């Protein structure tokens, strides 16, 4: 796929929100074939991996799968990942993406963390 600019909405946490944002994107001419790609962003953290509910804007891992399926082939799914435990960031990302990436449910990651050491990024 050719690199294109994108427009996105982050903080999606329910199917209703995902459906509505996709509908608005479509009404305004944004789709995977348009000049600007639509994306839906989901807040995820190390606490999500531990099944610790942070707040309603952080969907559970189970709910993430449903959200990704709702947007698949309609928008790019993006995980906005936060952790304070950057020393094992690679392990966290691997746990999170193991099936998601393989299943092509989500392959885009934004790190919402203090800049980690370059060796940590290389390991990812």
- Per-residue pLDDT in tens (0 to 9) along the chain, 124 residues: 568 999 999 999 999 999 999 999 999 999 999 999 999 999 999 999 888 877 889 998 889 999 999 999 999 999 999 999 888 899 999 988 887 777 778 889 999 998 888 888 888 8
**Rounded CA separation 24/118 (Å):** 38
Tokens of 7: 């427009």
Give me the pLDDT at residue 120, please. 84
Give me the pLDDT at residue 61, please. 87
Give me the pLDDT at residue 103, please. 76
For the entire predicted model, the pTM comes to 0.89
| Nearest residue to 25 via CA among 35, 107, 69, 81 | 35
For the chain, helix, strand, coil in percent to 5 are 40, 20, 40
Give me the pLDDT at residue 74, please. 95
**Rounded CA separation 10/4 (Å):** 18
Give me the pLDDT at residue 115, please. 86
């Amino acid at each position: 796929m050719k690199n294109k600019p994108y427009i996105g909405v982050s903080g999606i946490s329910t199917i209703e929100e995902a459906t509505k944002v996709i509908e608005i994107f479509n009404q305004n001419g944004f789709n995977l074939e348009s000049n600007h790609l639509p994306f839906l962003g989901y807040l995820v953290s190390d606490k999500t991996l531990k099944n610790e509910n942070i707040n309603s804007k952080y969907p559970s891992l189970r709910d993430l799968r449903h959200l990704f399926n709702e947007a698949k082939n309609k928008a790019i799914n993006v995980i906005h990942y936060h952790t304070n435990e950057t020393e094992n960031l690679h392990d966290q990302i691997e746990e999170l993406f193991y099936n998601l990436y393989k299943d092509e449910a989500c392959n885009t990651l934004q790190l919402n963390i203090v800049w980690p050491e370059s060796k940590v990024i290389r390991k990812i």
